Structure 1
Amino acid sequence: MCQACRLKKCLQAGMNKDAVQNERQPRSTAHVSPDSINVETKREHLVTTQALSPSDTYSAVISRPLVTSSAPISATVKPCSNISNNHRFMVSLLTAETCAKLEPEDVEENIDVTTNSERDLTPFDSRLSPYTSSCPENVYETSARLLFMSVKWAKNLPVFAHLPFRDQVILLEEAWSEMFLLCAIQWSLPMDSCPLLSLPDLSTPQQANINLLTADLQILEEVFSRFKALTVDPTEFACLKAIVLFKPEIRNLKDPEQVENLQAQSQVLLGQHIHSVYPNQGARFGKLILLLPSLRFVNSEKIAKLFFQRTIGSTPMEKLLCDMFKN
């Protein structure tokens, strides 16, 4: 059984780091409800493109079950001036967001993710929190679930799935930490209650590392606060994740032109959504784009150590991501 499968099995039963690393039967004593963040692969219905009127071009209602549609979602993005393709790409972003959505059972069945109701129900609403307490074990479990959700989101994005497989792997390996942090911000992972998170007991020679990692956590807290100050809505999160995923400047891509198209399309959609929903916030687009580099203030190696070392042990993140991607 691969590392990702073992991790998923433990998440379903209740997190136990020994069960993940040594393949022992996991405990079922974790306080996090498995239903709060569903990592099972389910047959998800797609948001229809036909049911949206022109005035609702950038509005879609997430509900369970979602309305199905026989209209295919385009997997190829043309130049950004094409309104029809913009619409389809937005729908595909929201569909991927829905398929990977964390949704506690006690949340209302219907959540409008793009209309003005976002001002009344923000992503940081405590009712949407994917954990019941902030003890360390729950944070480890929640972090693992958020990582699963990030990978699942990318896999459910049609335009990503139609890129060359090697490009998919390269993009995911490059962007996983940024996507994970965006999910953690969206679902309010509590940084202040996670002292050094997944660090093992440190011996005296290792004590010097504590200050460095504590500083990294403080940096992440500041980054989280900046995003929360803007009250980023679900559609904006979807666009931001697409922007950090599609990086045409990464070396060894087979189809960098298409990746560049997808990133540009994501930026256009973000701008159009902001213009539609937040017409009085002219600087909002720039503020969000300028926040993205802060997701790399703490590099991916440190993110892996802080959030996942206790869960996956010495397993390289690249191997875990590959296992997640294949399953």
Structure 2
Amino acid sequence: MPSSPPKCACPEQPKENSILFSLLSTPPAEDHTSKETSVAYPTTQLVDSILKRTSRLQPPVVVALRYPELVCQQAAQLLLKTVDFVKALPSCSCLSSKDRALLLKHCWAELLLISMTKYRFRFEIIEYILCCDCANTTDSCCEMSNESIVMKCLAALQGIPTKSDIQLMDSFFTRCETMELDDKEYAFLQSAILFNPDVPGLENPLLVERLQSSVQLHLNEYVAAKHPYDQLRFARILLSLPPLRNIKAQVVTQLFFRDMIGNVAMEDLLSQMLQG
């Protein structure tokens, strides 16, 4: 592992009047009692059922950022830029404020990961094996136990970042970089994700569906004109989306923002950012 912090070609620092500026400027609170007491443990019946079906599972490998202060600030800058992208989309002006907020809250993590790919955002992690009583580095030997299986299930339920989550991110980053997407293709990809008519609670899902179809049509036309000899490029771009949806927003929040925003709900923060 290199000893110096990773560099990232991220956008400019947040403005002083932005919502995340105060979060970036304020040291995290030292009292973590509310975080610890908020964990919901499974019932005995649920544990017994899990143990019967997962007797061969290995304990989860939990990850943490190697340079959290730097990486979290860079992630916050990219989140601001991602929300600004959504606010600047001409198509969003015909949607109600409620629908805009619902669409953003539903896919903000996917949009952010695309922005990370676009700006070659990289980060280093530290790995731990999650056990019942302690967290050991992967250099140590950890014996299999029923408790470690329960901890694996708890990690998934609580959105604790694990090595498998990082592997999903890296796979998506590599796929996009291999295709060498340009800025317009990234923009079309983000728009196609944003306009999802299946999001529950939309006031006008038909309009959202039309916007999604329009984005896909324009992406197809752009790809055909820019890469006339690569007839499968449009399909490959769309096929990059399903793996992205396997990365939970909870994991992205815990990994990049929880130390920064504390107990603030990410949905509330996004609503304020969208209105700002």
TM-score (norm 2): 0.67
Task: Kindly indicate whether residue 79 of structure 2 is the aligned counterpart of residue 147 of structure 1.
Answer: yes
Distance, in Å, in 1 between the alignment partners of 2:249 and 2:94 is 26
Matches within 5 A, 1:58-207: 135-191=67-123, 193-195=124-126, 205=133, 207=135
Instruction: Tell me the secondary structure at the aligned position of residue 315 of structure 1.
Output: coil
Task: Kindly indicate whether residue 258 of structure 2 is the aligned counterpart of residue 315 of structure 1.
Answer: no
- 2:20 corresponding residue in structure 1: 7
Distance, in Å, in 1 between the alignment partners of 2:74 and 2:250 is 19
Task: Say whether the 8 Å CA contact 1:223–1:294 is kept in structure 2.
Answer: yes
Distance, in Å, in 2 between the alignment partners of 1:239 and 1:292 is 12
Percent identity for Structure 1 against Structure 2: 28
- Report the CA distance between 1:164 and its aligned residue: 1.1
Q: Deviations over 1:186-214 (max 9, x none)?
A: 011114x2447xx9xx9974735599612
Instruction: Tell me the secondary structure at the aligned position of residue 280 of structure 1.
Output: coil
- 1:272 corresponding residue in structure 2: 221
Q: Which amino acid aligns with 1:268?
A: L
Instruction: Tell me the secondary structure at the aligned position of residue 281 of structure 1.
Output: coil
- 1:239 corresponding residue in structure 2: 188
Instruction: Tell me the secondary structure at the aligned position of residue 250 of structure 1.
Output: coil
Instruction: Tell me the secondary structure at the aligned position of residue 162 of structure 2.
Output: helix
Distance, in Å, in 1 between the alignment partners of 2:241 and 2:134 is 32
- 1:252 corresponding residue in structure 2: 201
Distance, in Å, in 1 between the alignment partners of 2:227 and 2:26 is 44
- Report the CA distance between 1:295 and its aligned residue: 1.2
- Report the CA distance between 1:5 and its aligned residue: 4.7
- Report the CA distance between 1:252 and its aligned residue: 1.6
Distance, in Å, in 1 between the alignment partners of 2:98 and 2:264 is 21
Q: Which amino acid aligns with 2:91?
A: V
- Report the CA distance between 1:145 and its aligned residue: 0.8
Task: Say whether the 8 Å CA contact 2:197–2:209 is kept in structure 1.
Answer: yes
Distance, in Å, in 1 between the alignment partners of 2:237 and 2:258 is 30
Distance, in Å, in 2 between the alignment partners of 1:212 and 1:155 is 29
- Report the CA distance between 1:308 and its aligned residue: 0.9
Q: Which amino acid aligns with 1:234?
A: D
The correspondence for 1:302, drawn from 222, 237, 251, is 251
Task: Say whether the 8 Å CA contact 1:136–1:194 is kept in structure 2.
Answer: no
- 2:59 corresponding residue in structure 1: none
Task: Say whether the 8 Å CA contact 1:178–1:296 is kept in structure 2.
Answer: yes
User: Is there any run of 5+ residues in structure 1 with no aligned partner, and where?
Assistant: 23-133
TM-score (norm 1): 0.57
Task: Kindly indicate whether residue 216 of structure 2 is the aligned counterpart of residue 284 of structure 1.
Answer: no
Structure with greater Cα Rg: 2
Q: Which amino acid aligns with 1:325?
A: L
Task: Say whether the 8 Å CA contact 2:161–2:251 is kept in structure 1.
Answer: no
Q: CA RMSD in A?
A: 2.6
- 2:139 corresponding residue in structure 1: none
Distance, in Å, in 2 between the alignment partners of 1:258 and 1:304 is 30
User: Is there any run of 5+ residues in structure 2 with no aligned partner, and where?
Assistant: 1-16, 31-65, 136-150
Q: Deviations over 1:65-115 (max 9, x none)?
A: xxxxxxxxxxxxxxxxxxxxxxxxxxxxxxxxxxxxxxxxxxxxxxxxxxx
- Counterparts in 2 of 1:280 and 1:17: CA distance versus 1, 3 Å: farther
Instruction: Tell me the secondary structure at the aligned position of residue 219 of structure 2.
Output: helix
Instruction: Tell me the secondary structure at the aligned position of residue 228 of structure 2.
Output: coil
Task: Say whether the 8 Å CA contact 2:219–2:234 is kept in structure 1.
Answer: yes
